[in-house]
Structure 1
């Protein structure tokens, strides 16, 4: 049997199991990308079509957001699935028509007894409608995995390459710090009237503090990953030391002792400013932002007194981002 198919679909014959087989094209966008949708978290990402076509058929795809692994076919987007289903529906319609033609073609066209009704069936040629198009989220920027070279695009925070898996610590840190910069820059686009309301409510102050906390967390994750990657006995050295990489001086001591990397003396890295910002973050997390004895030990040159509140400005937040990027570059072996 042959099937009529719309442009973008082709009948490929019957397989060994007796199933009819069709191929359905998934069009690329103007950049050569097409969408994938994770069956676990339902988030969309895009992959370069040329790179994707070169992948082995049996390679499992990885969701860049949640890390779910599955067969390629499980990552079809809703619009792609609708396109495939249209071909299946067209084929089913033609199979039904063929079956009806065969059945009614063998029936008598008339009877001698008028108690019976003569049934006739005249089918018309089937002309499939054009397949549904694909209009998915547009490419923002092209990313290239440093491990496998596959090009892809994401629309949110991600931790995995769709092919090679978990991203390196430097890539994660770079993305995270970039996101913090963009977040702060976006505040400038808020209309003046709304800015006044937000400022009065302390929203900008809160964002600056939250950004500082995020930056400390980014450095902590990066330093931990780098230390464990490069020091074979890391687990034994770190045992019982808690969140050591959250503490700036302890981090410096570890890298100096185990990897001969001393960030305290690195050029263009103001260690005293880093210590002040890290101490401010600790005070806001553990002391409602008020100066305590621990803050005074970390920042002995401060003019603030115990009980005073530490103000973290947007300038402080930006400085923290820049210094964190420089610190990660010193601690790692790749540029952030």
Structure 2
């Protein structure tokens, strides 16, 4: 039997006692400066962080969700690589000492002194063990803390996400507004770059590509929100949507669909000017998605006030993107207000 009081453990590792035929050990996991704990998905390997106090208060048999891919399993499976390395160092230190104690007991039972009848001589000399400090935890710091609208748990992500780590799939409203914030942050990040870096990226077309991506992405944000909201609010939604294709990519068709289901007209809620700008934005997105931004007759039909001519390529700007984000936010708010 091992005497656990004889084991030397590094700071942060503590032997709690014996449980049946094993030793119970506790290894501390350092938190970041904000008091958050890293979690790493065993499926997609991406890291997110959770408020440690809230995490500690959760049930021991908690099923944790990956905020990115939605994989869910026991929370103990979400150790990060650095946390696992720290734990394995402590386990390794304990194992070395347990083996050492076992050898001491075994050699302590061997006969002492020289024996002429023995053809094998075994010598064992034990050495004191001094554990090295456990590896620290140095993971990516927080950028922004999210709060789940359902369970109120606080967590931080480092990429696009769709799930709360505790209660699973996030509401479509939360996903939509978070996506719009991410688009704005992307615009701000490029503008904040040093002049030399900005000049190089502009020359390579990175700014233009980023602006075009924003114009395309907001359509996807609205499509997902409108689809989810309509299906939740309208009992016979599937019957009304049958055979209509990607109707939520089309602004006027989306507005007509809600009106037909008995809800207010989005066009009236937003006003003529905002709706017209949104119509132009959606037409711009369609042009870049399907015609590399080159103006065609279909675009001019949608945007009759445009000064562009057929064959020209539209130019998207940072100002256009920011106005589009503001108008899209207003559209999302109007969608949510239709059927709270």
Residue in structure 1 matching 2:145, options 136, 142, 146? 142
Counterpart of 2:210?
Answer: 207
The whole-number CA distance in structure 1 between the counterparts of 2:167 and 2:197 is: 44
Which digits, 9 at most, give the CA deviation of each residue in 1:145-165, with x for residues without a partner?
110111111111111111111
* TM-score, structure 1 normalization: 0.91
* Equivalent pair of 1:261/1:330 in contact (CA under 8 Å): no
Q: Does 1:216 align with 2:230?
A: no
Q: Does 1:153 align with 2:151?
A: no
Residue in structure 1 matching 2:68, options 60, 65, 68? 65
Counterpart of 2:280?
Answer: 276
Shift in Å, 1:302: 3.1
User: Which runs of no fewer than 5 residues in structure 2 stay unpaired?
Assistant: none
Counterpart of 2:182?
Answer: 179
Q: Structure 2 vs 1, CA of residues 194 and 135 (structure 1 numbering), >3 Å: closer, same or farther?
A: closer
Decide which moves more: 297-306 or 62-71: 297-306
Counterpart of 2:3?
Answer: 2
Shift in Å, 1:261: 2.6
The whole-number CA distance in structure 1 between the counterparts of 2:224 and 2:40 is: 28
Q: Does 1:289 align with 2:293?
A: yes
Shift in Å, 1:240: 0.8
* Equivalent pair of 1:255/1:331 in contact (CA under 8 Å): no
Q: Does 1:315 align with 2:319?
A: yes
The whole-number CA distance in structure 1 between the counterparts of 2:145 and 2:155 is: 6
Shift in Å, 1:307: 3.5
| Matched residue count | 333
The aligned runs of 1:98-247 (5 Å cut-off) are 98-113=101-116, 116=119, 118-193=121-196, 195-196=198-199, 198-200=201-203, 202-247=205-250
Shift in Å, 1:115: 6.2
The whole-number CA distance in structure 2 between the counterparts of 1:92 and 1:193 is: 55
Q: Does 1:40 align with 2:43?
A: yes
Shift in Å, 1:304: 3.5
Decide which moves more: 181-190 or 137-146: 181-190
* Equivalent pair of 1:2/1:11 in contact (CA under 8 Å): no
Decide which moves more: 167-176 or 116-125: 116-125
Which digits, 9 at most, give the CA deviation of each residue in 1:76-100, with x for residues without a partner?
1111111111221122112211211
Shift in Å, 1:265: 1.4
SS at match of 1:266: helix
* Equivalent pair of 1:109/1:120 in contact (CA under 8 Å): no
Q: Does 1:28 align with 2:9?
A: no
* Equivalent pair of 2:173/2:336 in contact (CA under 8 Å): yes
The whole-number CA distance in structure 2 between the counterparts of 1:285 and 1:2 is: 70
* TM-score, structure 2 normalization: 0.90
The whole-number CA distance in structure 1 between the counterparts of 2:145 and 2:211 is: 29
* Equivalent pair of 1:34/1:49 in contact (CA under 8 Å): yes
Give the RMSD, CA atoms, in angstroms: 2.3
Q: Does 1:298 align with 2:302?
A: yes
Decide which moves more: 158-167 or 114-123: 114-123
* Equivalent pair of 1:274/1:323 in contact (CA under 8 Å): yes
Q: Does 1:252 align with 2:255?
A: yes
Which digits, 9 at most, give the CA deviation of each residue in 1:43-71, with x for residues without a partner?
11111111111111212111111111121
